[in-house]
Amino acid sequence: MNYVIIIAGGVGSRLGASVPKQFVEVLGKPVIAYTMEHFQRHPEIDAIELVCVDGFQEHLRGIAERYGISKVAKIVKGGTEYEKSIMNGVAGLEGMAKPDDVVMIHWAASPFLSEEIISDNIRVCKEKGNAMSACYSYLLYGTNDGDCARKSINRETFMTLSAPQSFLYKVITEIYRQVVEKNMFDYVEAHTPAFMSELGIPIYFSKGSHANIKITTKEDLDLFSGYLLAKKMRGKCEVV
């Protein structure tokens, strides 16, 4: 089985909206609906679990029903921070997922997906045990020395990590077992890649895209609106 956990636990404070950013409407449809539709359509995704900011569970259930997201198997409460929402989602699969099942994690406010990105993420995870959508960086880097950079950094040594991020169920449960056992929230930046680095676990790359961003600001919403309108003009999607 291939599960996807969609993290909809954020409040979107930087967006300045009256509702969490994943529920903001773009061209008449909530952002999270666009995200869920990618996984609903994908033939390799068997079930969707939603991790929702507290108080919006029924609202989210209504969105899923309205847009025909029939693969939703469960809605669980989000945590006090992003990484703890992921842990809640993984815990919510107990009794459902088997050790070698794929557990994909994706951000609700990241609707710039493609079938190819999802497929390659699953493929690499099955081969290697984990997979993160990644891209080479086109940007130049410098050290942060106050108001200047005193050294340049070779961009070819960096990869930009995004979502989806997939793990075999036995792998992600073991990672979080060790995170709790070692109290890693106290001394490691609270992100799965940082935990993996601390534990000496290599991160394997799958196909990414520089367009596959997470909506964080009002400008990002404008980008997504333009993206949808461009696709509509090319006749590749119908915007309802």
* Residue 47 confidence (pLDDT): 98
- The CA-atom distances, in angstroms, between 41 and each of 18, 38, 106, 233 are 30, 5, 15, 22
Q: Report yes or no on 196 lying in a domain.
A: no
Residue 53: φ, ψ to 5°: -55, 135
Q: Is 181 exposed, middle or buried (0-12, 13-18, 19+ CB in 10 A)?
A: exposed
Residue 189 belongs to some domain of the structure: no
Per-residue model confidence as pLDDT tens digits over 122-170: 999 999 999 999 999 888 889 999 999 999 988 888 899 999 999 999 9
207 occurs within a structural domain: yes
Within a domain: residue 62?
Answer: yes
| 139: its two tokens | 């940007």
Tell me the one-letter amino acid at 48. I
pLDDT digits over 177-201, tens only? Answer: 999 999 999 999 989 999 999 999 9
**CATH number for 76:** 3.90.550.10
pLDDT of 25 higher than 80: yes
- Return the pLDDT at 240: 47
Examine residue 177 and state whether it is found in any structural domain, yes or no. Answer: no
CA 206, CA 161: separation in Å to the nearest integer?
10
Range of the domain at 105: 2-170+202-233
| Helix (H) or strand (E) segment spanning residue 36 | helix 31-41
Structurally, the chain folds into a number of domains equal to: 1
pTM equals 0.89
Residue 233 sits at φ, ψ, to 5 deg, of: -65, -30
175 domain-assigned = no
The confidence score (pLDDT) of residue 163 equals 95
Q: What is the pLDDT of residue 156?
A: 87
Tell me if 206 is assigned to some domain: yes
* Beta-carbon count within 10 A of 73 CB: 14
